[in-house]
């Protein structure tokens, strides 16, 4: 993700990659060693019940989401990427360099943030990088890679190509039948790389960008349709980010020049989702309204504990970019703020872990203003209730099976019991399941004809 009108900095090939040991630690460190400290919850709005501290787990609401579904499949961009860029490729390994990951887990972990991102809130991610094996995918796979979009890929792969990878991986794994897929969750994060690339190529000029909105939204809708046809039924699709709220020296408010683009994208997404609901049987789809959540925080930043909204925590002195950049001998060209837990933006275009926690809190609980509940999820009251609906579908299936078993003979009963055992293995208590969500392994910069060569782990 980058901000229109700015130059994207790419580290030179001759710069030594100095985070090699940190990357190895991120693979080898046991899950229990990744301790998390309780965080201060977002301060309540007027009329909202106060709570002094909320652990990051409760802010993430991970247990409320992950325990309701069989697996999580993630598609999209840097707002969902958990390490799919190659850490050893010096031209694209920004998220694998210090100071990324300084809040959590304490070293670079491939995320475009100071710590965790929204993907970590949707699944029980217990380690970074597991041994490559198709059997390991039973908790899901993250196909998202920083820079991706519908047409724009920044040298990597588009979302359509990610969907193609999903089909290939699922076909090879034999881990998912139609029932398991129908109870899995899909997260699609496409927050605007197509628009940002267009604007950047025109030095920020918005002329002609509205013509791009319809095909971008159509591409998102087509991705949902294709994944639905593959057997998936539960989708959480993110709205786009507000382009005019990026970091800028001296900025005190968001730039309204992009409002028409943002409004049109939001309108077409809502219309497209409603058509999907009417056309696709048993589809459960929500839109996580990232833009509204950010606007809510911007309206009262002090209530959420944020300061200097338009100043990133990590940047070169007097600038808003160059986080993670080093010179020829490995000396940092950037500075890191001392108050990262009070910062909204981590780098040129990505949230801090603290911002992600605040956003996920709003997705999970909403907000109260003047005794009125505000939801930031379209299609459900909140993301926790939506995930509970997924579990209810499973419970209803079991009840129907129980009813049918009352009048069957022994042979059919045995067959039905085998089916129930399979369902329990799929949706039962995951506390004893050593499966984990895995990532596409080090997505290289590839042409559209080369995406089949990408391996997964």
The 3-state DSSP composition of the chain as helix, strand, coil percent (nearest 5) reads 40, 10, 45
Lowest-confidence region among 27-36, 228-237, 359-368, 372-381: 27-36
Tell how strand 335-336 and strand 140-142 pair up: unpaired
Range scoring the smallest mean pLDDT among 52-56, 333-337, 349-353, 407-411: 52-56
The active-site residue, picked from 350, 357, 365, 442, is 350
Cα 59 from chain centroid? 15
Contact 147/196 with Cβ under 8 angstroms? no
Number of CB atoms found within 10 A of residue 279's CB: 10
Q: What percent of the chain has pLDDT over 70?
A: 69
Predicted TM-score of the model (pTM) = 0.78
Mean pLDDT computed over 263-267? 98
63 by Cβ neighbours in 10 Å (0-12 / 13-18 / 19+) ranks as middle
CA distance 450 to 283: 32
Peptide bond into 252 cis (omega under 30): no
- Catalytic residue, chosen from 121, 347, 365, 442, is 347
Concatenated DSSP letters of 396-407: HHHHHHHHHGGG
Q: Is the peptide bond before 101 cis (omega within 30 degrees of 0)?
A: no
Residue 122: strand, helix, or coil? helix
pLDDT in tens, 288-314: 999 999 999 999 999 999 999 999 999
Active site residue 174: no
Which residue bears the tokens 């201060």?
A: 40
> Among 285, 305, 181, 298, which residue's Cα sits nearest to residue 238?
285
Strands 335-336 and 367-369: unpaired
Residue 190 phi, psi dihedral angles, 5° rounding: -135, 90
Q: Could you tell me the pLDDT band of residue 67, with boundaries at 50, 70 and 90?
A: low
The pLDDT tens digits for 369-407 are 888 999 999 999 999 999 888 888 767 766 776 776 666
Give catalytic status of residue 350 as yes or no. Answer: yes
pLDDT given for residue 105 in this prediction: 96
Is 32 noted as a catalytic residue in this protein? Answer: no
Q: Which of 338, 244, 359 is closest to 296 using CA atoms? A: 359
User: SS3 for 244?
Assistant: helix
Annotate 250-286 with DSSP letters as a single string.
T--S--GGGHHHHHHHHHHHHHHHHHHHHHSTT-EEE
């Amino acid at each position: 993700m980058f901000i229109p009108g700015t130059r994207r900095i790419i580290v030179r090939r001759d710069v030594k990659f100095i985070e090699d040991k940190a990357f190895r630690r991120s693979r080898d460190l046991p899950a229990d060693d990744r301790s998390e400290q309780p965080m201060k919850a977002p301060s309540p709005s007027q009329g909202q019940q106060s709570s002094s501290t909320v652990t990051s787990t409760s802010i993430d609401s991970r247990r409320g989401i992950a325990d309701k579904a069989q697996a999580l499949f993630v598609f999209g961009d840097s707002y969902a990427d958990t390490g799919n860029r190659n850490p050893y490729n010096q031209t694209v390994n920004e998220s694998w360099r210090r100071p990324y990951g300084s809040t959590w887990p304490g070293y670079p972990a491939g995320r475009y943030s100071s710590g965790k991102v929204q993907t970590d809130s949707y699944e029980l991610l217990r380690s970074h990088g597991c041994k490559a094996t198709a059997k390991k995918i039973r908790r899901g796979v993250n196909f998202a890679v920083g820079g991706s979009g519908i047409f724009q890929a920044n040298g990597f792969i588009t979302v359509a190509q990610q969907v193609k990878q999903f089909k290939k991986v699922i076909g090879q794994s034999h881990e998912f039948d139609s029932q398991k897929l129908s109870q899995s969750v899909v997260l699609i994060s496409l927050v605007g790389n197509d628009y940002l690339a267009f604007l950047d190529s025109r030095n920020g000029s918005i002329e002609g960008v509205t013509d791009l909105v319809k095909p971008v939204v159509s591409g998102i809708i087509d991705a949902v349709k294709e994944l639905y046809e593959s057997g998936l039924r539960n989708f959480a699709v993110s709205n786009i980010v507000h382009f005019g709220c990026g970091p800028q020296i001296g900025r005190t408010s968001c730039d309204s020049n992009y409002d028409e683009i943002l409004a049109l994208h939001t309108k077409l997404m809502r219309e497209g989702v409603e058509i999907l609901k009417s056309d696709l049987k048993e589809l459960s789809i929500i839109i996580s309204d990232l833009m509204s959540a950010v606007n809510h925080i911007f309206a009262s930043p002090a209530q959420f504990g944020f300061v200097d909204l338009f100043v990133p925590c990590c940047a070169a002195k007097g600038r808003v970019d160059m986080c993670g950049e080093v010179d020829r001998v490995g000396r940092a060209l950037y500075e890191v703020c001392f108050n990262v837990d009070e910062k909204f933006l981590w780098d040129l275009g990505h949230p801090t872990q603290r911002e992600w926690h605040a956003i996920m809190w709003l997705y999970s609980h909403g907000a109260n203003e003047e005794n009125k509940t505000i939801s930031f999820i379209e299609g459900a009251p909140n993301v926790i209730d939506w995930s509970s609906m997924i579990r209810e579908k499973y419970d209803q299936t079991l009840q129907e099976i129980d009813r049918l078993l009352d009048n069957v003979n022994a042979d059919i009963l045995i067959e039905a019991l085998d089916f129930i055992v399979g369902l329990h293995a799929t949706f039962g208590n995951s506390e004893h399941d050593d499966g984990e969500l895995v990532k596409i392994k080090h997505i290289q910069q590839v042409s559209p004809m080369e995406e089949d060569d990408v391996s997964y782990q």
